[in-house]
Structure 1
Amino acid sequence: MVFLGILDDKHLQHVPATVVLAEEEHLRTAATEGLKRDPKNPDIILIPQPSADPNDPLNWPYVKKVVVISIIAFGSVLYAAVLAPLLSPALVVIAKEFDKPVGEITVISGYMLLVTAASGPIASAVSRKWGKRPVLIVSSLFGLLGTIIGSATRSYEGLTAGRVIQGGSISAFESLVISMIGDLFFVHQRGGFMTLIQFILAAASNFSAIIVGPIAGNLGWRYLFHMLIAFTALEVILLILFVPETTYIRDHRYDIDELAEDNLEDLAAAEKRHAGGKGVETSVDGVARVDTATSVPPALRPKKTFIQELAFINGTFSDDNLLQLLIAPFAVCLNVTVLWFVLLTGGISAFFVAQSYDIAPIFMAPPYSLDPAGAGYLSIGPFLGGLLGALFMGATLDPLIKWCAKKNNGIYEPEYRLLGMIPSIFAGIGLVLFGYTCQNHFSYYVTATFHGMDLFGIVCATVACSAYVIDAFRDMSSEIFIMNMVVKNLLFYGFSYFVNDWTEKNGPAIVFYVFGAIAFGMTFSTVIFFFWGKKYRSFWHRHNLLKKWGIRTHAEF
């Protein structure tokens, strides 16, 4: 048994994803002495180990990494955070203009999210084959085109067309962006960036509602599209100029978090050969790449120029056919931990989206009788709740896992990330109290407070779980987050059909009591994966169905 009661495994010498993270100088061994470490904190071993290639994204200057992830985060704000709730404060106004029930206007956003879900596996397959850069650029162009159509339309059908086209932009900025954190940053650096992205995906949409409500009420809902055009065009330009390809084929020995046998001595020897400019045929546990006498050693590869990094496609990163790549996101759900993650984060996020569907019908009707601007201002509560959740997780998650690793003799277990699930209990509490206070017509200050409480818990849950799976199963991270996005958006689409009618028929209390109860069950299920997660990681490595069926995931080169 390891620190905090995580059950140990007896089958493997080294369970993949269990790694030496913190090692004080006087405890270093011959095997770990040659490993690269954080220059600012020499006790921290870099996981995964960067190669000697200057084009390896792990070797990029930290400022460049931050610029890249900031541009992608800006795209996530525009497409993953703003687009879905863009029309929520104006649903009643649009329904009156087109003489349609509110439910039919809500379903337009549902169609957009259905397209998002359907395009996810395609984005995954193409990114696996030709990299993430072309997928991100094409996705941003879909967002720009759909926004232009939405700004010019004068009909229900035109608005539907614009929203459907916008749906093609969302999947990449909801899923690939998270796996890019694994491309660019080491394990001990990921928590803060994961928190930022999850805050954008879960909470930033509420800040947009604060803005779009007054715009829709004072200028008209079409101005939402007019103003968005400038931002989407800027994102296209920034992507083209400043976001190089982050997919990189690295010798599998460097991925010391994914191997069942460390072979650290062999890795250190290979590093010395590479540094000396020699290429020697090597093989490790049947999984390493081969360095031949004719290959260019990583240390001698020329650094790409700015113009070379502008290439739309940077080569082929997988020899698999597209059909096999399309299947991979669905196949990863054969892993029980992945399935749990997909259902938990998808379900808990869908409950929050259901609240956004209900905001206009509840608060623009008596006794509240708010206008679109007032309905938009109600999002201040969840925005602040999400912000507090993000700040809390950003400040505590990485220091917490470092502390746990040191208490565990320097050994890091990904399950330590799940300690961040403890505050997620507020998701269930907030959902239940939100339903109760809406049903009994409490002040909208009170309802907004509980709305913020549940988003605080949701942000904590999504950050903790996302950080856990990217550390525990990094070799499947692209497919995992694509599938997460698919399930979420299918749930969003499904909820758009019945949530408004269910709330109108039974009242908000019943609706959110049900959602809250399910959220509690999801939260408490974390206990299973915290204590038995390491054993299951070992079991999965020894009985990996994907390998048996010949389905490869993104890092298995």
Structure 2
Amino acid sequence: MGFLGILEDTKLPHVPASVILNEQIAHSETVTSHLKRGKGKDEHIVLVPQPSDDPNDPLNWSPLKKLRALVIVCFGTCLYAATFSPLLNTGLVVLAVEFNRPIGDITLISGYMLLVAGATAPLVSACSRKWGKRPVFLGSALFGIVGSIVGSVSSSYETLLAARIIQGLSVAAYESLVVSMVGDLYCVHERGSYMSAVQFLLASAGNFSPTICGPITENLGWRYLFHLCILFTGLQFILLFLFVPETQFRRDHRLDIDELASDNLEELAEIEKRHASHIESQEIHKLGTTTGVFSSNGPGQEKTFLQELAVFTGKYCDDNFLQLVIAPFAVCTNLFVLWVVVISGYVVATYVAQAYVLAQIFTSPPYSLSAAGVGYLFLGPFTGGLIGLLVFGTIANPTAKWCSAKNGGIYEPEFRLLPTIGGLAAGAGLMGFGVLCQQQASYYATAVLHGITIFGIVAVAIGTAGYALDAFRDMSSEIFVSAIIFKNFLFYGFSYFVNSWTATRGPAYVFFVFGGVTLGLVATTPLVYVYGKKYRSFWARHNVMRIMHIKTHSEL
């Protein structure tokens, strides 16, 4: 039995995603001594996956280049994934009055935007797998700019709806691909803090934008929101084009030691040793073609700045495009992937449900808050999310290393699930929020409960995303795209009924339902943790996607 009750597997010599992380504790120095390892205090950490010898491999980029690329894409995530969705939430009542429409119709404007985001997610996944992430990011940013321009000149409900639909075309890439981009740039022992930051942006950063959008809507008018979006999306597009090269890379699969059912570390170490000794070039070529250790393109020259500006850099997958479109749905045949999709999508959807009803509750008596006042209420959930980031982001990597040390130096992806238990706070927060709103308690108190909810949501998002990326990295893009589809379709569904449901049954009833379902889903986490390794072995032996002839990265 592994650390904290993880059940061991007896069917495979090596279960995919279980890797030697600490070679000193695992006493594997004789096997792993010639594999690439970390530097400084991490010099005893085996790099997973192993970087190739190509200087263009993103794993070989300098720390500054990696961070610069990720920060620029995360800036896009703040805009397209975290700001576009709640852009009009504080002004729902203002828009309803201006267009003489029920508040439910105004909510549907954002609902349709999220529906488009979910519907286009499979195409985003397929295009990124086929041609890389860079052209998809750039194309999505262009849609964001165009949608913002249309929104800034809107004078009718229909034009504003069209603007939001166009903006919806920009969302999916920055919600899903940014997560798998972390796997492109960083090894297992480095990912925790970066994953935490990304999940904070996706699950909580959207709570800060209403604090700005509310006062702008009240003092300058809602069209100025779109004026500012044009400015910032234009800036992000320029930075993206100049400083974010393609992060997709066709690395020889032998180096992906976290995805293999047979690690063959002795053979890999021996070849790395020979390569490090600078053997004759013909022998290097022979080993590279017979064993598949080096990059498929060979260790070429590092690309120049101008070469990295290319939008299209070739094909990264030979699969049929239709198969790639189907892949985000096919990955859900993996039951533990389906669990990740449902729990992560649902808990974030509950936060959006809260955002939908906030203006409805707090612009009415006895609160009678303005659009700016409603916006300031989002400081509570933003603070809760920020605390969640600081807590779980700080402990993510040290916890993984500590658990690996306690597990004999072996890293198991299930260790990433430990923060998910914090999701209990989300269920309790939702229930408490509903009760306080029903009792018309102080809005300071409701903001605190809203913050506790987001703290728990961030815990679930960080835990499940880290687990999915490390346990099933070969199909991580499809997993996160599936989560986006599920989540955005829930958003769209909520936009149809959550306002009227809250008005007829009261917020206490509505959020007790949301909170109860959240607690039930979080309670299933120990089952995934304990049986995770056994199921990874089962999936490696009975991969439904292989049966359906839908290839994943591990089969390239």
Residue matched to 2:23:
23
Residue matched to 1:6:
6
Residue matched to 1:370:
369
Q: Does 1:203 align with 2:209?
A: no
Q: Does 1:433 align with 2:432?
A: yes
Instruction: Provide the C-alpha distance between the structure 2 equivalents of 1:5 and 1:107, rounded to a whole number of angstroms.
Output: 46
Instruction: Provide the C-alpha distance between the structure 2 equivalents of 1:535 and 1:74, rounded to a whole number of angstroms.
Output: 38
The one-letter code matched in structure 1 to 2:432 is L
Q: What is the aligned residue count?
A: 550
Label 1:503 to 1:219 Cα distance change in 2 as closer, same or farther (>3 A).
same
Report % sequence identity: 56
Q: Does 1:32 align with 2:38?
A: no
Instruction: Provide the C-alpha distance between the structure 2 equivalents of 1:253 and 1:139, rounded to a whole number of angstroms.
Output: 33
Runs of 4+ in 1 over 6 A off after TM superposition: none
The one-letter code matched in structure 1 to 2:150 is I
Query: Tell me, what secondary structure is at the counterpart of 2:285?
Result: coil
Instruction: Provide the C-alpha distance between the structure 2 equivalents of 1:209 and 1:381, rounded to a whole number of angstroms.
Output: 11
Q: Is the 8 A contact 1:274 1:297 kept in 2?
A: no
- Alignment of structure 1 residues 142-541 onto 2, 5 Å: 142-275=143-276, 276=278, 277=281, 278-281=284-287, 289=292, 297-298=298-299, 301-541=300-540
Label 1:226 to 1:259 Cα distance change in 2 as closer, same or farther (>3 A).
same
Label 1:14 to 1:189 Cα distance change in 2 as closer, same or farther (>3 A).
same
CA positional deviation for 1:22:
1.1
The one-letter code matched in structure 2 to 1:206 is N
Instruction: Provide the C-alpha distance between the structure 2 equivalents of 1:18 and 1:457, rounded to a whole number of angstroms.
Output: 28
Q: Is the 8 A contact 1:217 1:372 kept in 2?
A: yes
Label 1:26 to 1:94 Cα distance change in 2 as closer, same or farther (>3 A).
closer
TM-score, normalization by structure 2: 0.97
CA positional deviation for 1:267:
1.2
Deviations 1:362-384 (A, max 9, x none): 00001111000000000010000
Q: Is the 8 A contact 1:280 1:291 kept in 2?
A: no
CA positional deviation for 1:296:
6.2
CA positional deviation for 1:289:
4.1
Deviations 1:11-41 (A, max 9, x none): 1111000001112289343211111111122
Deviations 1:406-426 (A, max 9, x none): 011100111111111121110
Q: Is the 8 A contact 1:149 1:162 kept in 2?
A: yes
Instruction: Provide the C-alpha distance between the structure 2 equivalents of 1:556 and 1:66, rounded to a whole number of angstroms.
Output: 29
Q: Is the 8 A contact 1:335 1:540 kept in 2?
A: yes
Label 1:26 to 1:536 Cα distance change in 2 as closer, same or farther (>3 A).
closer
The one-letter code matched in structure 2 to 1:501 is S
Instruction: Provide the C-alpha distance between the structure 2 equivalents of 1:184 and 1:556, rounded to a whole number of angstroms.
Output: 21
Deviations 1:24-64 (A, max 9, x none): 28934321111111112211111111011100000000110
Q: Is the 8 A contact 2:25 2:405 kept in 1?
A: no
Instruction: Provide the C-alpha distance between the structure 1 equivalents of 2:34 and 2:294, rounded to a whole number of angstroms.
Output: 20
Q: Is the 8 A contact 1:52 1:274 kept in 2?
A: no
Q: Is the 8 A contact 1:279 1:291 kept in 2?
A: no
- Alignment of structure 1 residues 55-70 onto 2, 5 Å: 55-70=56-71
Deviations 1:52-88 (A, max 9, x none): 1100000000110000000010000000000000000
Q: Is the 8 A contact 1:273 1:279 kept in 2?
A: no
Q: Is the 8 A contact 1:151 1:226 kept in 2?
A: yes
CA positional deviation for 1:553:
2.2
Q: Is the 8 A contact 1:52 1:271 kept in 2?
A: no
CA positional deviation for 1:228:
1.4
Instruction: Provide the C-alpha distance between the structure 2 equivalents of 1:94 and 1:464, rounded to a whole number of angstroms.
Output: 38
Q: Is the 8 A contact 1:175 1:478 kept in 2?
A: yes
Deviations 1:88-144 (A, max 9, x none): 000000110000001001001001001100110001111111000000000000000
Q: Is the 8 A contact 2:475 2:552 kept in 1?
A: yes
Deviations 1:505-553 (A, max 9, x none): 0000000000000000010110110000000000000100111221012
Q: Is the 8 A contact 2:26 2:410 kept in 1?
A: no
Residue range with higher mean Cα deviation, 34-43 or 239-248: 34-43
Deviations 1:265-298 (A, max 9, x none): 22123324544342115689xxx74879xx8642
Instruction: Provide the C-alpha distance between the structure 2 equivalents of 1:431 and 1:26, rounded to a whole number of angstroms.
Output: 44
Query: Tell me, what secondary structure is at the counterpart of 2:23?
Result: coil
Deviations 1:425-477 (A, max 9, x none): 10000000000000000000000000000100000000011000100000000
Residue matched to 1:104:
105
The one-letter code matched in structure 2 to 1:416 is F
Structure 1 residues not aligned, in runs of 5+: none
Residue range with higher mean Cα deviation, 170-179 or 252-261: 252-261
Q: Is the 8 A contact 2:421 2:525 kept in 1?
A: no
Query: Tell me, what secondary structure is at the counterpart of 2:45?
Result: strand
Instruction: Provide the C-alpha distance between the structure 2 equivalents of 1:181 and 1:453, rounded to a whole number of angstroms.
Output: 27
Q: Is the 8 A contact 1:25 1:43 kept in 2?
A: no
Instruction: Provide the C-alpha distance between the structure 2 equivalents of 1:26 and 1:412, rounded to a whole number of angstroms.
Output: 10
The one-letter code matched in structure 2 to 1:485 is I
Instruction: Provide the C-alpha distance between the structure 2 equivalents of 1:330 and 1:507, rounded to a whole number of angstroms.
Output: 36
CA positional deviation for 1:175:
0.1
Q: Is the 8 A contact 1:128 1:317 kept in 2?
A: yes
Query: Tell me, what secondary structure is at the counterpart of 1:24?
Result: helix
Q: Is the 8 A contact 1:20 1:412 kept in 2?
A: yes
Q: Is the 8 A contact 2:195 2:465 kept in 1?
A: yes
The one-letter code matched in structure 2 to 1:350 is A
Residue matched to 2:542:
543
Label 1:37 to 1:169 Cα distance change in 2 as closer, same or farther (>3 A).
same
Instruction: Provide the C-alpha distance between the structure 1 equivalents of 2:510 and 2:177, rounded to a whole number of angstroms.
Output: 33
**TM-align CA RMSD:** 1.5
Q: Is the 8 A contact 1:92 1:360 kept in 2?
A: yes
Instruction: Provide the C-alpha distance between the structure 1 equivalents of 2:363 and 2:541, rounded to a whole number of angstroms.
Output: 56
Instruction: Provide the C-alpha distance between the structure 1 equivalents of 2:434 and 2:403, rounded to a whole number of angstroms.
Output: 38
Residue matched to 2:139:
138
Q: Is the 8 A contact 2:25 2:408 kept in 1?
A: no
Q: Is the 8 A contact 2:148 2:163 kept in 1?
A: yes
Deviations 1:233-261 (A, max 9, x none): 00110111000000001111111111111
Label 1:340 to 1:411 Cα distance change in 2 as closer, same or farther (>3 A).
same
Residue matched to 2:121:
120
Residue range with higher mean Cα deviation, 472-481 or 267-276: 267-276
